[in-house]
Amino acid sequence: MTKKPRTDKVTNTQKGKAAKAPASKAKAKKPSNKRVIKDEPVTLIRWRLGVILFCVFAIFFALVARVAYIQIIEPDNLIKQGDLRSVRVKSLPSARGIISDRNDEPLAVSVPVQAVWADPKTIFKEGGLAEKDRWYALADVLGLEREGMIDKLERNKTKRFVYLQRQVSPAMANYIRELKLAGIGLKAESRRYYPTGEVSAHLIGMTGIDGHGLEGVERSYDKWLTGEAGKRTIRKDRYGRVVENISLEKREEGKPLQLTIDQRLQAISYRAIKQAVADYRATSGSVIMLDVKTGEVLSMVNAPSYNPNNRATLQSFLMRNRIITDSMEPGSTVKPFVVLAALENGSVDMDTVIDTGNGLMQIGGSRVRDTSAIGKADLTTILKKSSNIGVAKMALDMPLEALLGMYSSVGFGEISGLNLIGETSGIFPNRRRWSNFEIATLSFGYGLSITPLQLAHAYATLGNHGLYQPIHIIEGNREDLSKQVIGEENSNLVLSMMETVTQPGGTATKAAVPGYRVAAKTGTSRKASAGGYSDEYVAITAGIAPVSDPRIALVVVINEPQGDSYYGGTVAGPVFAEVMKGALQILNIAPDENKFKPN
């Protein structure tokens, strides 16, 4: 039996020898414990790929849809947001129109000034208020309290625009430029300047700091004077540089306005009434002058007045145009219209004689008195001596409607149509029942209230031979709206009667003007108070000149004169004479040979 060789032993031996052979190498390199991973083919998971591709395309289509929505369907919002950040609209203010008198003398003009503004964000970005001396210099030139201005800037750190001062002069603006303060800018604007100052302040009025009218003609005709501001639309980049001019709307300059007043007459009227108010320590005084033939306002002044160029001294009670806002009981100045009403009604004529007795007339439980007994008197004497009893008897002998109709036809109780802010219509009586005493008092100016303007308009109608001419203050009004409200013959008769009032023996001798025939009437009315009448008076003189060819109607009112002299003829008469004389000379009206001299 043959034995098989033990190959396994040999193999093991060889393995042992082989293992022993590189013994030195085994010491040098230790066997690694890392597991060797053999490469295997990658298997594609299709559902995962589908999910990823679906998400990618979904996001893509969502973005495309969003872009399409923004760009095509609703682009306005982003355009608006972009415009808010880049588009700027710059206002181009129009110059306010000039106001001038009938001779083209300027009464209100616009002058260039600057507004000082600050950009607090830029100020603090550029170093803030480190150089205090320069900032204090800015506060001083603007008339601001130093620390107050600093606090204002610090309170508005995040803002880009804050006004520091408006309407500074060019000299101040140049000084501010030289300071070279970061974040401080100047903006061009205009300021209203009134060359006549306080003389025409009540009539012209004034504008606010933004250039819109607040009082007088400035307010009533604000839209006409202001015009339309222009507008420039531009686009700026992030550095403030203009990159596109988008549009330009041209501005429409304000239109000029020419008034009917004559500044020379304004000046002499204001000087006279201001002096009278001071002399008699009166509360106020007013003068209104009308052109009889055209209805133009030639002069309208009040005292005390105010300076519209100095806003620091403005007080509301000084800014009221009393000629149109304050009503008064006219007193004896309405007596010519009572005589007119009686003549028009036919209850009296030029041959009528009225017995006024001993200057005292009993009506029910009340009495009517005259300042002096004149006995039996004709119509001329009744007006000359200003008899309350004479006109009361005339009023009681005619229908009440005739008297009220006369008052209404000459403009009492009506707005004048001058279009001035604050005008009142007064108080025109309208009762169902009238006592005889109420009718009597109505005939000598009590029981109704009118404005000085209404009284002047009534006298202008009388001087125009009974032709009612609407009054106006804007030059160029050629519309004829006149109407005959009083008979021409009767108007001329009463005008002749009124001329005797300024002659010796009349109540208005101090209203006479040498060389001219003047028809006037004075009035003194007590001021109403709670429960009756006070001890304060209103002195009035109203009249027309020259009688031969009436041109001017003038009314002078002095409110609450102090002292023993408070009668219309004594207080207001001299003012009337002074203003009327100056007006007749300035207007170059020829004398009509008045042979009487004032006392």
* CA-closest candidate to residue 552, choices 507, 522, 518, 528: 518
Q: Are 89 and 124 in contact (CB under 8 A)?
A: no
Q: What is the DSSP string of 338-373?
A: HHHHHHHHTS--TT-EEE-TTSEEEETTEEEE-SS-
Task: Compute the distance between CA of residue 327 and CA of residue 305 in angstroms, rounded to an integer.
Answer: 18
Catalytic positions: 332
* CA-closest candidate to residue 108, choices 1, 3, 256, 227: 256
* CA-closest candidate to residue 262, choices 309, 299, 214: 299
Which neighbouring-strand residues pair with 242? 236
* CA-closest candidate to residue 464, choices 541, 408, 424, 519: 519
Number of helices followed by number of strands (H, E) in the chain:
21, 21
- Residue 141 has which token pair? 């030139």
Please state, in angstroms and as integers, the Cα–Cα distance from residue 143 to each residue in 136, 147, 148, 149, 171, following that order: 10, 12, 11, 10, 14
Task: Compute the distance between CA of residue 78 and CA of residue 6 in angstroms, rounded to an integer.
Answer: 95
**What does DSSP assign to residue 262?**
-
CA angle 373, 374, 377 (to 5 degrees): 150
* CA-closest candidate to residue 87, choices 247, 227, 212, 222: 247
Q: What is the DSSP string of 8-67?
A: HHHHHHHHHHHHHTTHHHHHHSPPP-PPPPPP-PPPP-HHHHHHHHHHHHHHHHHHHHHH
| Residue 295 Rama label (left phi>0; alpha psi -120 to 50; beta) | left
* CA-closest candidate to residue 513, choices 441, 576, 466: 576
Task: Compute the distance between CA of residue 74 and CA of residue 460 in angstroms, rounded to an integer.
Answer: 70
Please state, in angstroms and as integers, the Cα–Cα distance from residue 482 to each residue in 104, 464, 479, 485, 493, following that order: 27, 10, 9, 9, 21
Unique residue bearing structure tokens 């006070």:
534
Task: Compute the distance between CA of residue 301 and CA of residue 286 in angstroms, rounded to an integer.
Answer: 6
Please state, in angstroms and as integers, the Cα–Cα distance from residue 121 to each residue in 157, 160, 177, 237, 240, following that order: 5, 6, 19, 18, 15
Does residue 417 sit in helix, strand or coil? coil
